[in-house]
């Protein structure tokens, strides 16, 4: 069973993820991505989907043409867990 991060651990983790911000209402982290066009955006989503399946940890997200908004939180924990931090790091690695 994965547990929620304490506020201290969350802030420490977020220091290494400067593009992500904490969304207190959901105890989630969010980041927006912009690409050249829809094909680039959807290609990114496909890569994230494969990561998510492998990790058994899935994003909440939306896409409008070249934009992708991602929200990460851990449903099983009722808030942010280490799994979200690891997923955010893996997603950041995809976009270099």
Ligand X SMILES: C[C@H](O)[C@H](O)[C@H]1CNC2=NC(N)=NC(=O)C2=N1
Residue numbers at the binding site for ligand X (CB under 6 A): 56-58, 74-76
DSSP-H helix ranges across 1-96: 7-14, 38-55, 82-95
Residue nearest to ligand X (CB): 76
41 versus 88: smaller Cβ distance to ligand X? 88
Nearer to ligand X, 66 or 86 (CB): 86
Integer CA distances (angstroms), 27 to 6, 39, 54, 66, 75, in order: 11, 31, 23, 26, 10
- Of the pair 38, 78, the CB lying nearest ligand X is at 78
């Amino acid at each position: 069973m994965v547990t929620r991060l304490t506020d201290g651990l969350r802030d420490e983790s977020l220091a290494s993820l400067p593009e992500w911000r904490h969304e207190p209402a959901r105890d989630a982290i969010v980041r927006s991505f912009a690409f050249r066009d829809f094909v680039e955006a959807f290609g990114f989503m496909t890569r994230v989907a494969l990561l998510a399946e492998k990790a058994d940890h899935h994003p909440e997200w939306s896409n409008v043409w070249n934009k992708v908004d991602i929200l990460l939180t851990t449903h099983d924990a009722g808030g942010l867990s280490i799994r979200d931090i690891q997923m955010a790091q893996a997603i950041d690695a995809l976009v270099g």
